[in-house]
């Protein structure tokens, strides 16, 4: 079973709760939608799933229906108490903040699949942290505002392409796999959401901290030429050595070009 709109309203009323705007709480109130998300997550018996922002358990129940083992993380104490009563003993409920949670201690060795409905204000920093710090999570399916989804999956020259797009590409292959209308949420948000699949892959060779710093500097003023935005960050001769025109803008470079710029040293070979 999963939760209908009427059941969600009843659970909130019975426990004296209301969606908290400060936490970006919007509950999915459509059984078909949560079952579709569980199906797109590709999980089943033997899989371990960690869900972030479990709320009242709509998606949690759909994930448990697949036979996967589910660990549900919820930061709101009031919701966490209701969640435990809804999902029963077959789901592990963790009451904690996903941004500060000790993920290594919670998950141990992988692989895990992460499924989440993430509010706008935490989606990007949380996903970047998980990619950087939690290799036990092998793949993710996240529901985020479409604006955020566009940035996560953007390619060079796309309007949404930015530093986050490049950083995500270092760690994972990202793709939008579906859209979710605002009408299935309680309360109804003002914008639509999209489903993004992130599949972890071996990162490029090189110093990630250096790479990230160069990318962020390059996109700090995205309309300016890189010879201006990267002055003092990347040596002038690095552009020729990396095969990148100094007149290029940040939005024109793909992952491989950013990697070459960040990795350049005076002894680096010029690409043929």
The pLDDT, as a whole number, for residue 22 is 75
CA 104 vs. chain centroid, Å, equals 18
Residues 174 and 222: their CA atoms lie apart, in Å, by 22
* Sequence spans of domains, the chain: 5-200, 208-263
The pTM of the full predicted model, rounded to 2 decimals, is: 0.92
Percent of the chain with pLDDT over 90: 81
| CA–CA distance, 236 with 58 (Å, rounded to integer) | 54
What gap in Å lies between CA 38 and CA 44, rounded to an integer? 9
pLDDT tens per residue, range 94-111: 999 999 999 999 999 989
Q: What is the pLDDT of residues 7-31, one digit of tens each?
A: 988 988 888 888 787 777 788 999 9
Domain 5-200 indexed as CATH 3.40.50.150? yes
Q: What is the pLDDT of residue 25?
A: 79
Percent of the chain with pLDDT over 70: 97
Find the mean pLDDT for residues 158-187.
96
Name, in order, each residue with C-beta under 8 angstroms of 199's C-beta and a sequence gap of 6 or more. 138, 139, 172, 173, 174
- The torsion of the CA quartet 29, 34, 37, 43, rounded to 10 degrees, works out to 150
Residue 77 above 70 pLDDT?
A: yes
3 state SS of 27: strand
> What mean pLDDT value characterizes the chain?
93
Residue 210: φ, ψ to 5°: -65, -45
Query: DSSP secondary structure string, 156-200?
Result: TTSTT--HHHHHHHHHEEEEEEEEE-GGGEESPPSS-EEEEEEEE
The residues, ordered by sequence, that sit 6+ positions from 95 with a Cβ below 8 Å of its Cβ are: 74, 75, 77, 80
Is 120 a residue whose pLDDT tops 60?
A: yes
Superfamily (CATH) of domain 208-263: rRNA adenine dimethylase, C-terminal domain (1.10.8.100)
Whether 15 and 81 have beta carbons less than 8 Å apart is answered as: yes
Which residue, 137, 70, 77, is CA-closest to 103?
A: 137
């Amino acid at each position: 079973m999963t939760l209908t709109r009427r059941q969600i309203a009843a659970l909130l009323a019975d426990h004296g709760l209301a969606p908290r705007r400060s936490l970006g709480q919007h509950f999915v109130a459509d059984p078909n939608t949560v079952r579709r998300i569980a199906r797109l997550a590709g999980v089943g018996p033997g899989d371990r799933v960690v869900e972030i922002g479990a709320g009242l358990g709509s998606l949690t129940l759909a994930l448990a229906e697949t036979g996967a083992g589910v660990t549900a993380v919820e930061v709101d104490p009031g919701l966490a108490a209701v969640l435990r009563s809804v999902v029963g003993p077959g789901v592990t409920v963790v009451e904690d903040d996903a941004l500060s949670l000790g993920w290594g201690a919670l998950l141990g060795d992988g692989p895990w699949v992460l499924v989440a409905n993430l509010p706008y204000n935490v989606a990007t920093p949380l996903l970047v942290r998980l990619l950087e710090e939690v290799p036990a999570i092998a793949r993710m399916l996240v529901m985020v505002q479409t604006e955020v989804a566009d940035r996560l999956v953007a390619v060079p020259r796309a309007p949404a392409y930015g530093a986050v797009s490049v950083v995500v590409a270092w760690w994972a292959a990202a793709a939008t796999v579906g859209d979710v209308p605002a009408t299935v949420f309680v309360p109804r948000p003002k914008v639509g959401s999209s489903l993004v699949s992130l599949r972890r892959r071996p990162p490029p060779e090189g110093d990630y901290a250096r790479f990230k710093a160069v990318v962020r500097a390059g996109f700090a003023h995205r309309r300016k030429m890189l010879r201006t935005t990267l002055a003092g960050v990347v040596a002038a001769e690095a552009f020729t050595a990396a095969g990148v025109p100094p007149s290029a803008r940040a939005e024109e470079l793909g992952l491989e070009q950013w990697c070459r710029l960040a990795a350049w040293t005076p002894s680096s070979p010029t690409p043929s």
